[in-house]
Structure 1
């Protein structure tokens, strides 16, 4: 497969166009952090307010991934991805034209929906690649697309400088002077962050239109299988229905955590927090009702699934847990690594800390595809997951021991090794997602992806609480070395617990290494060539 990948024909064209769609969605989703300091100065924001904007960026991604998974299964990935990319221009323009903290928050809340784009490509790639290659294909899609976050961090500022040379009619809001790393000639350049952020949204929208006319949901002659109802996840046993209800709870509880955070920074008053909590409870009840409607015949005894048509929801739950500890931890760690290196090593300044920390995100280019390749080649997707998740846990525990006495190169090497296990574990997770139950792959991918954001918010909130507790115990000034050690210990223990659970509860997906998807007709070689 890897040798044919650069042909840009057939399935490989779909793979390249789809990972680039994901790449653009992440460039848009992460276009705030490079300008956080500048925006904070322009609006006079406090650190808690800036932190809240960052949390808002992932807030609506949780329900959005679930909802988009439903729409994806019903309408197909081509239309769903195209509309999402076109939508990206709306929150970008809202954020770019904001004149107050509240408007910034609204813009980032709406931006969180763009972060749900990842799940769409999971099904698109799964439709075009057979099970034996799906781990590698999904790894390339996830790893190369996920690089959009690192690309945004490195290029958004330079993009803003370039746009500042446009005629005055294209420059709006207050311009900021700044210093561009590696470009001393730009030390007095104008940073037009507003045009840069709006520009990324417009580029994404244009690519959405191109994607709409350039791809198809399935290869020629292959049927796109849709669930009978896409309002909720279809389960195949009564016990699994109640398990589904339980696993939906964390998706809503994490939204309450975000509402609490918005209250702490003054965005929500007492009335607002009450309304938010009632809305979240209503969301859970609405979600539960939809799941009941989808599975009503099963629950009332009118429908029974044949053994060959059943799947175990436990396998979905296990993939949700793995994505909490791998992708959830990645999102959390990326936000604190620059400050971690700067605070741990006296010889490391802000610029160097940013470069070192970026190595974590850069590893996505190889690590996530690596996880998919290992999952395809090792012969057991379950044990691939166990080993990679366990290695991630050990890596985080080792990072909790890093202090100023460590040689910096060794600390960087450990960071990159840890990120390999984290991102390879992500690749292994989505090597299994399309193999659970094909006709509801979008909804499974949506729920698993949403749990990654649950993990991110949970880990970031944990670090916030560790910081506050340390400050309270030390006269208002937290001991960040202890906070960071505790944070990495939480990540490491979480990874080891999930690896342990995978040993006992995760099963090898049916047909993991088959030439064709389950239930498909085995065509002659010429037809196979057209289909795959």
Structure 2
């Protein structure tokens, strides 16, 4: 049974990683690292998607076409692909804390300066550099992988990722409200520009806290992560003591720092390629929908900017429990059926995600209420799929887990780019059809689960 409120926190003595969570604690190093992993990710996503909820006002002010808006959405997602790939290797070499700090500081600058945009081109340039914030996901997941052992890592990853992803939903709700407050004293032309300074300041503040009051791993700073661990009590299942020469990679705190060859090693692994495609079909869908959903409800149901933002925020705020439950169920099935339990859940979640995306295409013709209900359902499975995917990643190639995490995370952005293009192709009255196309794609990719071989096991193994 996965414990979410373990007190005192259960620690595996051979790895110094936590085997449970205590969601009510912020004690160093494990739960403090968990807190800042998701909080930093949350505020990064808040900043990354802060322009989208105000796009109705910005579109009018900058005289943008629908193509301009869709192109800026695509650019904001595409730039993060490079940043995520780079962040993965940097985490392996420098640790999560400094990588997260750097991402937040660099990302806060274009967010704060986004008010300088005066036409479509300048808006696209701004959104390109704001995209660096999307790479905060990589140190977030890497951080929890350092703090939590294999039986709890799926849950930890999913809670941190889900609560962090929720920033995209909260910004859809909050930014229009902040704009309304600022606009009471300023013209819209100025108000949206001033509003953008608020998330920039918060991002910078959280970045400083990362550097000052957190740890990279149970041993403290990243430079200590390979330091031998003195073991006084050894689990019966882990009779070997880690003294710096432990051969069992599963018990080692972390492997030697990988170089650029880690990318080639990861890309040659078929499991990594399949997981990239799968993450493209859950997180990639989430990115595309986060950018499009408020505008869709505004245009399709003739709602005002604030109301459309509040309804659209349902999609992102579902992350509070949807992605965490994906990771939690993944860990529970792992405890009963080992890796095949994680794989079975992966297939079911992705298949149902695709199914409800297809249903959403038809639900919008039945009224706003029906559309919201189906939105909730496909939102749950989309985000739970992110949790189940990262429940598998720590088992694929542990010595280069940061690089694998970064590549799979970048795959999510590739998916976001592809699906944002689908929304561009089916813009305007045909937007519901985009959900049908995306849903059919996700359902097809779900069957790739049967190609995964992790820890020597497959979901379905044919007897010879």
**TM-score between both structures, scaled by the size of structure 2:** 0.80
Structure 2 unmatched ranges of 5 or more: 6-21, 227-252, 335-340, 458-464
Match 1:7 to one of 25, 37, 48: 25
Q: CA deviation at 1:349?
A: 6.1
Tell me, yes or no, if the aligned pair for 1:363 and 1:420 is still in contact at 8 Å.
yes
SS of 1:112's partner is helix
Q: CA deviation at 1:119?
A: 0.7
* Pair 1:103 & 2:122 matched: yes
Tell me, yes or no, if the aligned pair for 1:25 and 1:115 is still in contact at 8 Å.
yes
Q: CA deviation at 1:62?
A: 0.9
* Pair 1:84 & 2:112 matched: no
Q: CA deviation at 1:344?
A: 5.5
Question: 1:335/1:84 Cα in 2 relative to 1: closer, same or farther (>3 Å)?
Answer: closer
- Alignment-derived partner of residue 378 in structure 1: 333
- Alignment-derived partner of residue 132 in structure 1: 151
Tell me, yes or no, if the aligned pair for 1:70 and 1:232 is still in contact at 8 Å.
no
Report which stretch shifted further, 43-52 or 22-31.
43-52
Deviations 1:113-154 (A, max 9, x none): 111111111111000001100111111111111111111122
- Alignment-derived partner of residue 112 in structure 1: 131
SS of 1:6's partner is coil
Tell me, yes or no, if the aligned pair for 1:123 and 1:434 is still in contact at 8 Å.
no
Deviations 1:36-80 (A, max 9, x none): 122222222222222222222112101111011111111111111
- Counterparts of 1:137 and 1:325, CA distance in 2: 22
Question: 1:232/1:209 Cα in 2 relative to 1: closer, same or farther (>3 Å)?
Answer: farther
SS of 1:7's partner is coil
* Pair 1:361 & 2:316 matched: yes
Task: Map 1:393-432; keep pairs closer than 5 Å.
Answer: 393-404=354-365, 406=366, 408-432=368-392
- Tell me the number of residue pairs that the alignment of Structure 1 and Structure 2 aligns: 403
Could you say what the CA RMSD is over the residues aligned between the two structures, in angstroms?
2.6
- Counterparts of 2:398 and 2:264, CA distance in 1: 13
- Alignment-derived partner of residue 230 in structure 1: 259
- Counterparts of 2:306 and 2:178, CA distance in 1: 18
- Counterparts of 2:61 and 2:175, CA distance in 1: 18
**TM-score between both structures, scaled by the size of structure 1:** 0.70
Q: CA deviation at 1:350?
A: 5.7
- Alignment-derived partner of residue 338 in structure 2: none
- Alignment-derived partner of residue 239 in structure 2: none
Match 2:448 to one of 497, 501, 509: 501
- Counterparts of 2:294 and 2:202, CA distance in 1: 29
- Counterparts of 1:210 and 1:33, CA distance in 2: 27
Q: CA deviation at 1:191?
A: 6.0
* Pair 1:24 & 2:23 matched: no
Question: 1:495/1:222 Cα in 2 relative to 1: closer, same or farther (>3 Å)?
Answer: same
Tell me, yes or no, if the aligned pair for 1:327 and 1:455 is still in contact at 8 Å.
yes
Deviations 1:260-294 (A, max 9, x none): xxxxxxxxxxxxxxxxxxxxxxxxxxxxxxxxxxx
Task: Map 1:430-445; keep pairs closer than 5 Å.
Answer: 430-445=390-405
Q: CA deviation at 1:235?
A: 5.3
Tell me, yes or no, if the aligned pair for 2:70 and 2:424 is still in contact at 8 Å.
no
Question: 1:507/1:176 Cα in 2 relative to 1: closer, same or farther (>3 Å)?
Answer: farther
Tell me, yes or no, if the aligned pair for 2:283 and 2:416 is still in contact at 8 Å.
yes
Q: CA deviation at 1:195?
A: 2.6
- Counterparts of 2:44 and 2:168, CA distance in 1: 9
Tell me, yes or no, if the aligned pair for 2:101 and 2:210 is still in contact at 8 Å.
yes
- Alignment-derived partner of residue 15 in structure 2: none
Task: Map 1:436-475; keep pairs closer than 5 Å.
Answer: 436-467=396-427
